[in-house]
Amino acid sequence: MGRKFWVGGNWKMNGDKKGINEIVKFLEAGPLDPNVEVVVGVPAIYLEYAKNNLPSTVAASAQNCYKVSKGAFTGEISPAMITDVGVKWVILGHSERRHVFGESSELVADKVVHALETGLNVVACIGEKLDEREAGKTEAVVFEQTKAISDKIKDWTNVVIAYEPVWAIGTGKTASPQQAQDVHIKLREWLKKNVSESVAKSVRIVYGGSVTAANCKELAKEADIDGFLVGGASLKPEFVQIVNANQ
Ligand code: PEP
């Protein structure tokens, strides 16, 4: 069975209710390709507001959560809380969580396990830093980040992997379609060897890193790029063109 194209927006720590209303307007105007699964990552405080206002074809996602359901973890939110407000997705292991907030691959994996157990769909982000790429360590880094997760989960049905080279996030430097495809295919080979052939075939691996309306069509042509995770451009009307990259 083919992998349904998936496009996520990551609003990061941007926007307010007025800004969300504007995004809702351009998403409603679309038109959005009905063959694409569309998800937007919303700041926690606006999750319920966004969920109640987004078109029914666009799902809301949290941008993070903790690894347990409740307790003395000031400032954190749990998958149970995300589920309680009717939201079905969470982004985990984003490079800003790993590199600004110091989250380890092990913590990210624990979060993935708990979010899946709670019934959420997970966008699991992985990706190498510039010095790691330049040192020829791209594969080692993304395999280690994927292994931390695969050591702890059995069922990949509700996981989307987002390959986001850190040097391409928010920098305007996009990986070339070939650079992205090379890593995606290596990841699929790794999954085949270390998880299973069916997971390797079915799991969606999306690319993130300065995706725009101008570069999305070329990236979308690659066989192993199953969609995008989009930061800056997801706040702008051009997000509609990115969703429609295959048209
Ligand atoms: C992201 O935040 O995941 C991202 C890829 O950002 P940008 O598209 O702005 O590079």
Q: What is the pLDDT of residues 208-232, one digit of tens each?
A: 999 999 999 999 999 999 999 999 9
If one residue of 6, 212, 230 were mutated to test the ligand 1 pocket, choosing by the most ligand atoms within 8 A of its CB, it would be 230
CB 116, CB 147: distance < 8 Å: no
Is there a catalytic annotation at residue 94? yes
Q: Residue 84 corresponds to which tokens in the numbers above?
A: 């309680």
DSSP assignment, residue 125?
E
Is there a catalytic annotation at residue 99? no
pLDDT score for 1: 54
Task: Report the alpha-carbon distance of residue 168 to residue 151 in Å, rounded.
Answer: 28
Cα(167) to ligand 1 centroid in Å equals: 10
The pLDDT-based confidence of 141 (bands split at 50, 70, 90) is very high
CB 164, CB 207: distance < 8 Å: yes
Q: Which residues of 68-102 are buried (b: 16+ CB within 10 A; e: fewer)?
A: eeeeeeeeebbbbbbbeeebbbbbbbbbbbbeeee
> Does residue 143 have a pLDDT over 70?
yes
Question: C-alpha angle 190/194/195, rounded to 5°?
Answer: 105
Cα(231) to ligand 1 centroid in Å equals: 3
Catalytic residue of the set 94, 114, 128, 132: 94
CB 20, CB 41: distance < 8 Å: no
pLDDT score for 31: 97
Atom of ligand 1 nearest to the CA of 169: 10
Close Cβ partners of 101 (under 8 Å, ≥ 6 residues apart): none
Catalytic residue of the set 37, 103, 128, 164: 164
pLDDT score for 3: 97
CB 245, CB 216: distance < 8 Å: yes
Residues with CB under 6 A from ligand 1: 10, 12, 164, 169-170, 208-211, 229-233
Q: Whose CA is nearest to atom 4 of ligand 1?
A: 231
CB 125, CB 63: distance < 8 Å: no
Task: Please state the pTM of the whole predicted model.
Answer: 0.97
What does residue 122 show for φ and ψ, rounded to 5 degrees? -120, 135
Q: Residue 237 corresponds to which tokens in the numbers above?
A: 């009307």
Question: Three-state DSSP class for 91?
Answer: strand
Question: Three-state DSSP class for 160?
Answer: strand
pLDDT score for 192: 98
Cα(71) to ligand 1 centroid in Å equals: 31
pLDDT digits (tens, 9 = 90+) for 43-98: 999 999 999 999 999 999 999 999 999 999 999 999 999 999 999 999 999 999 99
Task: Report the alpha-carbon distance of residue 238 to residue 157 in Å, rounded.
Answer: 30
Close Cβ partners of 197 (under 8 Å, ≥ 6 residues apart): none
Q: How far is CA 203 from CA 61, 139, 174, 199, 214, in A?
A: 19, 18, 23, 6, 26
Q: Is the ipTM of this complex over 0.85?
A: yes
- First vs last C-alpha separation in the chain: 20
Cα(166) to ligand 1 centroid in Å equals: 9
CB 59, CB 39: distance < 8 Å: yes
